[in-house]
Amino acid sequence: MTEPLITLSHVTMTFGRQVAVRDVSLALNSGECVGLVGHNGAGKSTLIKLMLGLIRPTGGHVHALGGDPAGAAAGRARVALGYLPENVAFQPAMTGAETLAFYARLKRQDVRGNAALLAKVGLEQAARRRVGTYSKGMRQRLGLAQALLGSPRALLLDEPTTGLDPAARQDFYALLRDLRDGGVGVLLSSHALAEMEGQVDRVVVMNAGHKVADGSLNDLRALAGTRPRLVVRLAGAPRAVVNVPDRWIGWRMICDDVLDIECDEADLPALMRTLPQEVIEVDIARPSLDDVYAAFLRGKAAARC
């Protein structure tokens, strides 16, 4: 087991009286794509800034690429780090190519590699245009290009997919998969858990500064305790319910002829085999990731009361 790229141990961060992050521990490994999910103000951006060393933790320790990211020797480590800030902004009067050239020089990278990088994010046509004329999605892609400068070992992306259209989003996740397969550790934050389905190896859920979950999406589903629902439509309802009441114990009537029941994933096949003849339509409603997410936030809210 190699050492994680970035480790947070029992990190707490307060701004004045406001606690942004409370006792959070997490790790980012090489070749791993981690999703950081939470509401606005849940502490996602604060965690990323702590990893970058832009702010120092009030308590606990941050270890990034072999050192303290806020320490004196952190400059060298930052060469191997790519960062895409939330709502990335650039000097509007410079062109995309000039902007990227400036950042490449700061990282002591050969500027000649920039054209390929711009092509990689689909900006080769707009490279000579001023950033001020770019759309939100184009700025986001330029932001991604600068984060990829110098082949970083760790990528920290703060809400990278906002402003990207669905096609660009697919391209973006494909790019991330390539990077991850090449051994890069990727951390991306988002306030929507659903869009991370199938894209990340692990999800960390933040709520009000606390880490409320850390695991694969399947783990989270199981942990959240949200269960699938079986929904059926009956031909001659609701008489059926009255006729054989035993058979319908636990079912809930949604409207006149539609009933549903919550059950465990494992019980679904058995349940379906025993459905009576009156049933003319069957539907399985699995909890969406947003349901899972909501369950975590509810659970946390309840636990704190």
Partner 1 sequence: MLTILILAGKELRDGLRNRWVLGATLLLTVFALTLAFLGAAPTGTVKVAPLAVTIVSLSSLSIFLLPLIALLLSHDAIVGEAERGTLALLLAYPVARWQVVIGKFLGHVAILAFATLTGFGVAAAALSATEGAPEGADVSALPAFAVLLGSSVLLGAAFVAIGLLVSTLVRERSTAGGIAIGLWLGFVLIWDMALLGVLVTDQGRSVTGGVLDGLLLLNPTDAYRLLNLTGDNVGAFGGTAGLARQTALTPPALLAALLAWVALPLAAAVARFARRPV
Q: Where on the chain is the footprint of partner 1 (CB under 8 A)?
A: 15, 49, 52, 54-55, 75-76, 78-79, 81, 83, 85-91, 93-94, 98, 102-103, 105-108, 143, 146
Contacts of 46 (CB under 8 A, 6+ apart): 13, 20, 21, 55
Q: Which is nearer to partner 1, 51 or 295 (CB)?
A: 51
- Report H helices in the chain: 44-52, 74-78, 96-106, 114-120, 136-147, 166-181, 217-224, 239-243, 268-273, 289-304
Residue showing tokens 């709520």? 207
Q: Which is nearer to partner 1, 105 or 298 (CB)?
A: 105
Q: Which residues pair with 12 in a beta bridge?
A: 59
**Nearest approach, Cβ of 111 to partner 1 (angstroms)?**
12
Q: Which is nearer to partner 1, 89 or 167 (CB)?
A: 89
Q: Which is nearer to partner 1, 147 or 297 (CB)?
A: 147
**Nearest approach, Cβ of 93 to partner 1 (angstroms)?**
4
Q: Which is nearer to partner 1, 60 or 238 (CB)?
A: 60
H-helix or E-strand spanning residue 201? none
- Within 13 Å, how many C-alpha atoms sit on residue 103's CB side? 26
Contacts of 187 (CB under 8 A, 6+ apart): 6, 28, 34, 36, 48, 51, 154, 155, 156, 157
Residue showing tokens 């307060």? 14
Contact of 218 with 62, CB cutoff 8 Å:
no
User: What's the residue count for the chain?
Assistant: 305
**Nearest approach, Cβ of 130 to partner 1 (angstroms)?**
9
Q: Which is nearer to partner 1, 74 or 192 (CB)?
A: 74
**Nearest approach, Cβ of 143 to partner 1 (angstroms)?**
8
Best CA proximity match to 19, nearest among 71, 59, 48, 61: 59
**Nearest approach, Cβ of 192 to partner 1 (angstroms)?**
21
Residue 89, amino acid: A
**Nearest approach, Cβ of 153 to partner 1 (angstroms)?**
14
**Nearest approach, Cβ of 52 to partner 1 (angstroms)?**
5
* Strand 258-262 with 252-255, pairing: antiparallel
Torsions phi, psi of 132, nearest 5?
A: -60, -25
Q: Which is nearer to partner 1, 93 or 305 (CB)?
A: 93
Q: Which is nearer to partner 1, 13 or 24 (CB)?
A: 13
**Nearest approach, Cβ of 296 to partner 1 (angstroms)?**
28
